[in-house]
Amino acid sequence: MDLDADLEIRLAPAFAHASEAELARILDFYAVAWEYEPQTFPILFDRSGTVLESFSPDFYLPELDLYVELTTLKQRLVRKKNRKLRRLRELYPAIRIKLLYARDFRALLFKYGKLSLADTLTGADGQTTPPKARPPAPRRGDAAGPDAAARRRCSWARRPASG
């Protein structure tokens, strides 16, 4: 009996953001097969056909035939990522891809009892490069706070994937 053949050892990839590592742990816990940035899609070309811009979704879930892109940046900063996703969908309409925003990730952390990690896994704090500035403190009078909104919705789980 070959134990090495029965034992699959997965080396942890070098995640670009701490939130990606946490999502991988959640997927592993629920035995959801995943691949980290397995494919890069060219999305912008010059007139001669040279690739000028490409997009590599964070995860591929082969059992679901679904790519997942996770962005934990502030909503106002995700415009570029939304543009890339629109372009990907135009060029590759058969590709199923789901974009998880910061609010979706916070809802996921809440669901799995890890909401206390949210501040360290989202935004600039979770990046592998040093953050530039701390996010502003919550406004006075906002008693419900952002966590209450995360508890009320988990929009990525309810909407069907595009494709």
Which amino acid appears at position 35 of this protein? E
**pTM for the complete prediction?**
0.65
pLDDT at position 128 is: 47
Say if residues 105 and 122 touch (Cβ distance below 8 Å).
Answer: yes
Most confident of 9-13, 45-49, 136-140: 45-49
Q: Confirm if 39 and 57 have CB atoms less than 8 A apart.
A: yes
Instruction: Determine the pLDDT at residue 155.
Output: 41
Q: What is the pLDDT of residue 38?
A: 95
Pick the CATH number of 11-130+141-158 from 3.40.960.10, 1.10.287.110, 3.30.230.80, 3.40.50.1110: 3.40.960.10
DSSP designation for 94: T
What pLDDT is stored for residue 56 in this prediction?
A: 95
pLDDT per residue as tens digits for the range 19-78: 899 899 989 988 999 999 999 999 999 999 999 999 999 999 999 999 999 987 766 678
pLDDT tens digits, 97-133: 999 988 888 888 888 777 777 666 655 454 444 443 4
Closest CA to 62 of 91, 89, 38, 41: 38
The residue extents of the domains of the chain are: 11-130+141-158
DSSP 5-45: HH---PPPP--SBHHHHHHHHHHHHTT---EES---EEEEE
| Separation CA 10–CA 23 (nearest Å) | 15
